[in-house]
């Protein structure tokens, strides 16, 4: 084993040991019930394996053992040779596992996505095993009681399902929306906000959520202005000036990228009955989403979910980079002079005769903002498969529904593990007592899912529900953290969005006299954009805030679809940040001539400086 491989293996072992050592105390408890509550059997990702049609749980735990062995082997073939796929088998009425013969179920079944990607090595930046994440919120907290943090983030996912078709323009202080206001009231009654000892939510002075903070994320600037980052709406001026910022078209060379997207039909939610849920958990292919004619800008949570259903992962950040380059946004002052732009370049007396292009210029940033994406995906795969194997919200919701069925005498008690029944029931009781949450109000769920009887199944925006890989960390969020960190390293994050008084153009720039602060929002049900003046400097949209908001929007857009929790976003963007900083630090070592500094504001508000002085 060569030195690099030895070092990487040691880091991987250390990371695995760290993850095990941080596991919840109940994982090592003596009580059978407590051990079972933290057991891999019913609180881990099992999608794609053989599930019992009545309970939604694994039919044979040995399938999970083989699944884990295949992950540890690190090769693709064992997932076919040794792991039975749920689409190829079914459980009959006597509980026997038989081979599936229905060609519709066997055709184009869903594959597990890149379970071996995390065990590779990188030639630049940290290896996938060298960055890590703390454990996700477990079912029980350190006292052995139901975990307030997990209760809260599951309630958030249910509330977002209720809000699928509400205008995002209402998700701010001047918005008026009864559904959103009711969701905020329910969430504010939950225990976690009173003592946020996990991943923090932004709250007001009374430790309450409001319309300006709910579902927004955690980083500086995300609570300022419109819910949506400007980079998900605006365009920039085309080279022949036949399109402008308000048209929402991004100049890509001589081509254009249209920010408007297909419109998913409203009031259609998926996986809202038990048969559909079982089919999805078996990995059987589902029908595609239904769409209306035409396109519009992102207008509702369902629209944002549609965006993150089909995006090319780094595309939002590539788009942001193209917008900023098109606006001639200044680079970080620590190296702006090397780029050939900046203040000095605007005066013939101080303009240098040589500038950046392949180094410190547009091509370098365009390359880096996409290059980090695949490195982030490999790192998060190691966390997903090799470390955490966290079950998706859809599966936790089904566990809750299973307990409801037992309580309603719709399923025999002996079909459900005792620990699951006990602790998930306590989970439900906490929601009913403290939050009166939507998930515990069948009448509310009936309204959005159009079902005859009460259910706690999570209404999904995607027919197939979550992807075929575990929840934690989140791929979109890790890529967001990495790509946005690159953008924050290169561009001057202190700039603000204004209408420039000199040429009447919209730009991110240092504010000067007579410049007008602006923000863009959708209008006409999302079919056009409007620019609105900001009169108070506290409402200025900084580049740092809008990039942080972009990372939050994309990540939490996955929560809106029902496929992730808040902690998946929170920890993953920070791991993506580590990956990007590692790459920038290594690249800085290879620049032996001009001194330069990259100043990177982190997602926690600190400042990291990278460079050669």
Q: What is the DSSP string of 486-513?
A: HHHHHB-TT-EEEE-TTT--EEEE---T
* DSSP string covering 571-601: HHHHHHHHHHHHHHHHHHHT--SS-EEEEEE
**Residue the block writes with tokens 């605006």:** 234
Task: Please tell me the total number of residues recorded for the chain in this structure.
Answer: 613
Q: Is the CB of residue 484 less than 8 Å from the CB of residue 368? A: no
Q: Is the CB of residue 289 less than 8 Å from the CB of residue 462? A: yes
Is 68 a domain residue?
A: no
* Three-state SS at 98: strand
Range of the domain at 465: 137-584
Is 481 a domain residue?
A: yes
Is 357 a domain residue?
A: yes
Cα distance between residue 231 and residue 307, in whole Å: 13
Higher pLDDT: 42 or 551? It is 551
pLDDT above 50 for 34? no
pLDDT above 90 for 237? no
pLDDT above 70 for 27? no
- pLDDT digits 0-9 by tens, 359-399: 989 999 999 999 999 999 999 999 999 999 999 999 999 99
pLDDT above 90 for 318? yes
What share of the chain in percent tops pLDDT 70? 90
Neighbouring residues of 237: CB distance < 8 A, sequence distance ≥ 6: 243, 244, 245, 251, 326, 505
Cα distance between residue 208 and residue 201, in whole Å: 9
Is 356 a domain residue?
A: yes
Kindly give the pairing relationship between strand 506-509 and strand 496-499: antiparallel
Neighbouring residues of 559: CB distance < 8 A, sequence distance ≥ 6: 156, 157, 160, 215, 565, 566, 568, 569
Instruction: Classify each residue of 435-453 as buried b or exposed e, where b means 16 or more C-beta atoms within 10 Å of its C-beta.
Output: bebbbbbbebbeebbebee
- pLDDT digits 0-9 by tens, 52-88: 999 999 999 899 999 999 999 999 999 999 999 999 9
Name 496's bridge partners. Answer: 509, 542
Cα distance between residue 376 and residue 316, in whole Å: 15
pLDDT above 60 for 269? yes
- pLDDT digits 0-9 by tens, 450-464: 333 568 899 999 999
- pLDDT digits 0-9 by tens, 482-491: 999 999 999 9
To the nearest 10 degrees (0 to 180), the angle between helices 148-162 and 442-449 is 40
Q: What does residue 160 show for φ and ψ, rounded to 5 degrees?
A: -65, -30
Is 569 a domain residue?
A: yes
Cα distance between residue 271 and residue 42, in whole Å: 20
- pLDDT digits 0-9 by tens, 152-161: 999 999 999 9
- pLDDT digits 0-9 by tens, 320-368: 999 999 999 999 998 888 888 777 788 888 888 888 889 989 999 999 9
Is 129 a domain residue?
A: no
Name 531's bridge partners. Answer: 520
Q: What integer best gives the mean pLDDT of the chain?
A: 88
Cα distance between residue 325 and residue 493, in whole Å: 14
- Strand runs (DSSP E) across 353-512, as ranges? 496-499, 506-509
Is 13 a domain residue?
A: no
Please report the pLDDT score of residue 141 as a whole number. 86
CA distances (Å), origin 331, targets 334, 343, 598: 8, 10, 9
**pTM of the full structure:** 0.91
What share of the chain in percent tops pLDDT 90? 71
Cα distance between residue 187 and residue 438, in whole Å: 9
From the list 51, 469, 527, 564, the catalytic residue is: 469
pLDDT band at 573 (very low <50, low <70, confident <90, very high): very high
Residue 268: how many other CB atoms lie within 10 Å: 17
Cα distance between residue 375 and residue 522, in whole Å: 34
Name 256's bridge partners. Answer: 251
Name 520's bridge partners. Answer: 531
Cα distance between residue 439 and residue 160, in whole Å: 11
pLDDT above 70 for 15? no
Name 249's bridge partners. Answer: 258
Cα distance between residue 253 and residue 258, in whole Å: 14
Highest mean pLDDT among 52-66, 132-146, 403-417, 550-564: 550-564
pLDDT band at 222 (very low <50, low <70, confident <90, very high): very high
Average pLDDT over every residue of 251-262: 95
pLDDT band at 119 (very low <50, low <70, confident <90, very high): very high
Residue 243: how many other CB atoms lie within 10 Å: 18
Please report the pLDDT score of residue 416 as a whole number. 84
Please report the pLDDT score of residue 454 as a whole number. 66
Please report the pLDDT score of residue 346 as a whole number. 80
Please report the pLDDT score of residue 490 as a whole number. 95
- Look up the CATH number of the domain holding residue 184: 1.10.606.10
* Three-state SS at 146: strand
Longest dimension (CA), the chain: 87
- pLDDT digits 0-9 by tens, 400-437: 999 888 777 778 877 888 888 888 888 888 776 654 44
Residue 607 parent element (H or E):
strand 607-612
Please report the pLDDT score of residue 143 as a whole number. 86
Cα distance between residue 5 and residue 19, in whole Å: 21
Please report the pLDDT score of residue 41 as a whole number. 60
Please report the pLDDT score of residue 442 as a whole number. 40
Q: Is the CB of residue 269 less than 8 Å from the CB of residue 252? A: no
Cα distance between residue 480 and residue 490, in whole Å: 16
pLDDT band at 579 (very low <50, low <70, confident <90, very high): very high
* Three-state SS at 516: strand
Neighbouring residues of 404: CB distance < 8 A, sequence distance ≥ 6: 428, 454, 455, 456
From the list 388, 476, 527, 564, the catalytic residue is: 476
- pLDDT digits 0-9 by tens, 95-116: 999 999 999 999 999 999 999 9
pLDDT above 50 for 293? yes
Cα distance between residue 458 and residue 398, in whole Å: 8
Q: Name the token pair of 504.
A: 């009447």
Higher pLDDT: 2 or 223? It is 223
User: How many domains, in total, are found in the chain?
Assistant: 1
Is 479 a domain residue?
A: yes
Q: What does residue 401 show for φ and ψ, rounded to 5 degrees?
A: -65, -40
Cα distance between residue 489 and residue 477, in whole Å: 18
Annotated active-site residue 476? The verdict is yes
- CA 41 from chain center: how many Å? 25
């Amino acid at each position: 084993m060569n030195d690099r491989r030895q070092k990487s293996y040691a880091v991987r072992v250390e990371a695995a040991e760290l993850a095990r050592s941080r596991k919840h105390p109940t994982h090592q408890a003596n009580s059978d019930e407590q051990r079972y509550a933290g057991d891999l059997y019913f609180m881990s990702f099992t999608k794609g394996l053989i599930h019992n049609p009545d309970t939604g749980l694994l039919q044979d735990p040995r399938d999970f053992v083989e699944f884990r062995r295949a992950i540890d082997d690190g090769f693709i073939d064992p997932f076919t040779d040794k792991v039975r796929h749920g689409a190829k088998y079914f459980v009959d009425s006597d509980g026997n596992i038989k081979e599936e013969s229905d060609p519709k179920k066997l055709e184009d079944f869903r594959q597990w996505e890149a379970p071996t990607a995390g065990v590779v090595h990188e030639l630049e930046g940290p290896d996938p095993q060298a960055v890590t994440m703390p454990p996700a919120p477990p079912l029980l907290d350190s006292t052995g009681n139901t975990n307030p943090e997990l209760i809260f983030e599951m309630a958030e996912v249910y509330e977002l399902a209720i809000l699928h078709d509400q205008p995002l323009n209402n998700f701010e202080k001047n918005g008026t929306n009864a559904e959103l206001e009711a969701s905020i009231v329910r969430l504010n009654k939950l225990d976690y906000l009173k003592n946020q000892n996990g991943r923090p939510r932004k709250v007001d002075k009374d430790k309450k959520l409001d319309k300006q903070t709910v579902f927004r994320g955690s980083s500086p600037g995300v609570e300022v202005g419109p819910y949506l980052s400007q980079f998900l709406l605006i365009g920039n001026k085309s080279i022949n000036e036949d399109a402008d910022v308000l048209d929402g078209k991004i100049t890509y060379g001589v081509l254009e990228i249209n920010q408007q997207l297909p419109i998913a039909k409203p009031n259609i939610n998926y996986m809202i009955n038990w048969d559909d849920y079982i089919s999805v958990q078996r990995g059987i292919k589902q029908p595609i989403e239904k769409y209306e004619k035409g396109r519009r800008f992102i207008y509702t949570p369902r629209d944002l979910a549609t965006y993150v259903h089909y995006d090319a992962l780094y595309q939002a950040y590539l788009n942001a980079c193209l917008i900023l380059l098109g606006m001639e946004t200044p680079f970080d002052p620590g190296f702006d002079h090397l780029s050939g732009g900046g203040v000095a370049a605007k005066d013939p007396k101080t303009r240098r005769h040589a500038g950046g292009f392949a180094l410190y210029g547009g091509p370098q940033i365009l390359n880096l903002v996409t290059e980090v994406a695949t490195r982030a995906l490999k790192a998060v795969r190691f966390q997903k498969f090799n470390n955490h194997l966290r079950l998706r919200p859809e599966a936790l919701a089904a566990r809750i529904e299973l307990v409801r069925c037992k309580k309603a005498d719709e399923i025999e008690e002996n079909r459900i593990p005792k620990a699951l029944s006990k602790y998930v029931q306590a989970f439900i009781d906490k929601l009913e007592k403290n939050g009166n949450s939507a998930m515990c109000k069948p009448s509310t769920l009936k309204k959005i899912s159009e079902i005859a009887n009460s259910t706690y199944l999570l209404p999904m925006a995607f027919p197939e529900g979550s992807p075929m890989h575990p929840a934690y960390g989140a791929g979109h969020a890790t890529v967001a953290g990495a790509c946005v960190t690159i953008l924050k390293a290169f561009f001057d994050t202190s700039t603000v969005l204004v209408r420039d008084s000199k040429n009447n153009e919209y730009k991110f720039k240092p504010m000067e006299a007579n410049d007008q602060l602006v923000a863009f929002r959708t209008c006409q049900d999302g079919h056009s954009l409007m620019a609105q003046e900001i009169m108070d400097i506290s409402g200025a949209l900084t580049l740092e805030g809008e990039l942080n908001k972009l990372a939050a929007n994309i990540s939490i857009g996955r929560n809106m679809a029902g496929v992730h929790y808040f902690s998946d976003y929170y920890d993953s963007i920070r791991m993506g940040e580590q990956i990007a900083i590692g790459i920038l630090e290594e690249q800085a070592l290879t620049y032996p001539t001009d001194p330069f500094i990259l100043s990177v504001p982190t997602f926690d508000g600190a400042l990291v400086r990278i460079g050669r002085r």
